[in-house]
């Protein structure tokens, strides 16, 4: 049964106000253990740890953080905060995990009743919230059984009722990309950097975090996700992914104006980079290059901004066009436009299966085969 926290005047006062970051607790669950941030299996303070092991404890904590991406940690922290705030408003205990409580929570999310003025969550959002709750429970030494009928049956009903086709970002084709490049000022450091980011992202089929996570060489930063190596025939990119390391070959283009390798070389030359992050913030009214790595959200903003400026999909409203493009548009664009054997595209994108690659080839094979005519109609 869902654990109900005893009602008291203090809870009534909190419930009538805006949700706070704290959560209601019961039993031996401490308030510290219910923080909105992601928990660590290791204590924050090295209490009782011998002095000669404290450095190892700190290092182990950094490995715990490296087990998931920053985006995943932010999403899980936000989802956990959302769940515990809902529990507080309903006078229910978030921990230990109770399937009936979580079944009620996902029902509230699907119906738009999770908080005042909230819109119903989509199926993918609810599944992510469930994953976040399960992860947080695991990190606290507890087990959430998502196969329990109070969760699984409700979730199956939500999928059957609210499931919709995925909203995929529009693939940017070569002609779109070239129009976007023309909107950038080649005479500025920011323009040179943005050209290099767009071209290497497209030609490499890279994710936005892979673009901004690149270093100029191996083992140069702790937060890097890979590095580049300049070769005569092109650029060799080494990336760290979920399943290990992989290499991505980016060949030289037929024209310097659209060559990703030339764009990267030009950016490095004029930015006077020698070591560290490849793509950095441009400061001082565009005259200086700082030491800080760009965040991956900058790739999405760049794609949106240049696609709008270039008039890509001008048949749509500006609001629709803004929602249509993101960092994944570069990756999908390569998959949709490269007229080569599918296995080469699959390798470039780092997909484990050809089926996943086909999901990215959104415009390449559309109406290529006309079964209506083939049937004689």
All domains in the chain, ordered by first residue? 9-162 (1.10.150.130), 174-360 (1.10.443.10)
Burial class (CB in 10 A: 0-12, 13-18, 19+), 367: exposed
59-67: list long-range contacts, CB under 8 Å, 24+ apart.
64/40, 65/40
The encoded tokens of residue 21 equal 């970051």
Least confident of 61-70, 75-84, 355-364: 355-364
For the chain, the average pLDDT equals 84
Given a cut of 90, is residue 249 above it in pLDDT?
yes
Q: Which residue has the higher pLDDT, 304 or 344?
A: 304
Q: How far is it, in rounded angstroms, from Cα 11 to Cα 87?
A: 12
Query: pLDDT category, 377, cuts 50, 70, 90?
Result: confident
State how far the Cα of 188 lies from the Cα of 195, in Å rounded to an integer.
11
pLDDT value at residue 101:
95
Q: pLDDT at residue 23 above 50?
A: no
Residue with tokens 């921990």: 95
Q: How far is CA 331 from CA 97, 198, 311, 362, in A?
A: 39, 10, 20, 11
Output the pLDDT for position 179: 95
Return the pLDDT at 298: 95
Q: Cα 11–13–15 angle (5° rounding)?
A: 65
pLDDT of res. 146: 93
Find the range with the poorest average confidence among 138-152, 167-181, 243-257, 335-349: 335-349
Residue 245 DSSP SS3: strand
What is the Rg, in whole angstroms, of the alpha carbon atoms belonging to the chain? Answer: 25
Q: H helices of the chain, where?
A: 9-15, 54-66, 70-89, 99-111, 123-139, 149-162, 174-181, 189-204, 208-212, 260-271, 297-310, 318-324, 328-337, 342-349, 354-360, 371-374
Query: 355: pLDDT confidence band, cut at 50, 70 and 90?
Result: confident
Is pLDDT of 46 > 70? Answer: no
Contact 140, 28 (CB under 8 A): no
Q: What are phi and psi of 227, to 5 degrees?
A: -150, 170
Instruction: Work out the number of other CB atoms within 10 angstroms of the CB of residue 43.
Output: 11
What does the pLDDT look like over 292-325, one tens digit per residue? 999 999 999 999 999 999 999 888 888 888 888 8
pLDDT at residue 11 above 60?
Answer: no
For the chain, give the percent of residues with pLDDT over 90: 54
Query: Minimal CA–CA distance to 264: which of 196, 181, 330?
Result: 196
- Measuring CA to CA, which residue among 167, 162, 190 is closest to residue 282? 190
> Do residues 191 and 282 make contact, with C-beta atoms less than 8 angstroms apart?
no
Evaluate whether 190 touches 198 at the Cβ level (below 8 Å): no
């Amino acid at each position: 049964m869902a654990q109900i926290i005893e009602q008291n005047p203090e809870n009534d006062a909190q419930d009538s106000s805006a949700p706070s970051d704290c959560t209601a607790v019961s039993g031996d669950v401490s308030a510290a253990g219910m923080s909105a941030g992601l928990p660590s299996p290791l204590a924050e303070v090295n209490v009782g740890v011998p002095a000669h092991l404290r450095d190892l404890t700190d290092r182990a904590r950094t490995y715990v953080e490296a087990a998931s991406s920053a985006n995943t940690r932010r999403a899980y922290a936000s989802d956990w905060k959302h769940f515990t705030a809902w529990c507080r408003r309903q006078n229910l205990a978030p921990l230990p995990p109770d399937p009936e409580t979580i079944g009620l929570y996902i029902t509230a999310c699907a119906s738009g009743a999770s908080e005042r003025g909230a819109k119903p969550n989509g199926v993918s959002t609810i599944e992510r919230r469930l994953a976040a709750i399960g992860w947080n429970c695991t990190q606290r030494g507890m087990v959430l059984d998502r196969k329990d009928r109070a969760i699984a049956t409700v979730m199956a009903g939500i999928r059957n009722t609210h499931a919709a086709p995925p909203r995929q970002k529009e693939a940017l084709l070569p002609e779109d990309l070239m129009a976007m490049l023309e909107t950038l000022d080649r005479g500025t450091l920011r323009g040179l950097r943005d050209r290099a980011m767009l071209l290497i992202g497209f030609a490499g089929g890279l994710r936005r975090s892979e673009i901004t996570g690149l270093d100029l060489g191996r083992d140069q930063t702790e937060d890097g996700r890979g590095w580049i190596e300049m070769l005569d025939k092109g650029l060799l990119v080494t990336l760290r992914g979920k399943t290990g390391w992989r290499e991505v070959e980016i060949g030289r283009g037929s024209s310097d104006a659209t060559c990703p390798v030339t764009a990267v070389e030009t950016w490095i030359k004029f930015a006077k980079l020698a070591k560290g992050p490849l793509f950095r913030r441009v400061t001082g009214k565009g005259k200086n290059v700082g030491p800080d790595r760009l965040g991956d959200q900058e790739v999405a903003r760049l794609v949106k901004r240049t696609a709008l400026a270039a008039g890509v999909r001008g048949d749509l409203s500006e609001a629709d066009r803004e929602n249509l493009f993101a960092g994944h548009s570069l990756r999908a664009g390569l998959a949709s436009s490269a007229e080569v054997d599918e296995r080469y595209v699959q390798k470039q994108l780092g997909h484990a299966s050809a089926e996943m690659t086909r999901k990215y080839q959104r415009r390449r094979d559309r109406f290529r085969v006309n079964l209506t005519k083939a049937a004689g109609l």
